[in-house]
Amino acid sequence: MLMDVRPGVFSRRDPEGDAPVLFEIPRSGAEYPRDFRSIAALTDLQRSISMYVEEVYAGVVEKGATWLYAHFPNVYIDPNRHELDIDPAQLDGDWPEELQPGPKTKAGMGLIPTICAGTKPLYDAPLPVAEVQKRLSTYYWPYHDEVKRLLAAFHAQHGVAYHLSCHSMPALGANGERRSDFDLGDRNGTTCSPELVELIGSTLKGFGYKVTSNAHFIGAESVRKHGNPTGGIHSLQIEMNRGLYMDEAARTRLPRLAEVREHLAAVAEKVVEFSKAR
């Protein structure tokens, strides 16, 4: 296994083979940059991170897939948001182009989050425009550029690329009901082939998991930005229920994490086989 690291930004692990399959983990990093200043407590900051997802997917490399992990926390800058998804009210200064804040941005969950742990404010003053631009140029774009580079290289060599963006979701939804074990988001059929969704869904169901598609999350910027199924690049967001592998209240791993990791390695093996057949 080969490994490449860009300090503070990402780590990449390459398999022995050359299958055009990428599992990337964009929202689980916990290396806070030195220039990050927040009024929130660390315990609250940590609750906004999808903890341990990089560990649960660690076995995919042994099955022939590439593994990519963003080190920086999504409370600093969220790689699963559009680069213009910023509320002008949170900026000290004028942005050089028109911003595109979405509904979640107004709730504090845009490119630069303003809340953590659901309700806790991150800042007590607007951020300078230059600071947000630095976060984009130093962390956001290098990470997305690496995803783009890998998928382009896969496509150039194999004529196809498969991109799995790996996330975790709270066990319970806003209505208090338990969510499915895995929710597969392809932005309602626009970012990958239905065959890929079916393959991953059926494999997970074979292990006894409850699997839904576009039920809780349809897929955000990571798959929107990189998915191009008509061009041979298939991007699928995988949301995993945190109750499968961690104690959400204590923020600790459950013994079952090792079993879930084996199952996801088996999913990777299936996708690698699928990619080679294409």
Asked if residue 243 lies in contact with residue 52, where contact means CB atoms within 8 angstroms, the answer is no
Q: Is the pLDDT of residue 117 over 90?
A: no
Digit-coded pLDDT (tens) for 50-74: 999 999 999 999 999 999 999 999 9
Digit-coded pLDDT (tens) for 244-264: 999 999 999 999 999 999 999
Q: What pLDDT score does 249 carry?
A: 92
Across all residues in the chain, what is the average pLDDT? 96
Q: Which amino acid does the sequence have at 242? A: R
Residue 12: strand pairing partners: 4, 68
Structure tokens given for 115: 């809340």
Q: What pLDDT score does 12 carry?
A: 97
DSSP assignments along 118-148, one per residue = TTEES-SSPEEHHHHHHHIIIIIHHHHHHHH
Pairwise pLDDT comparison (252 vs 2), residue with the higher score: 252
Task: Tell me how far CA of residue 40 lies from CA of 46, 48, 119, 160, 181, in angstroms.
Answer: 10, 11, 10, 43, 30
Structure tokens given for 95: 């942005």
- Neighbouring CB atoms inside 10 A of 39's CB total 11
Token pair 């490399």: residue = 61
Q: What pLDDT score does 182 carry?
A: 98
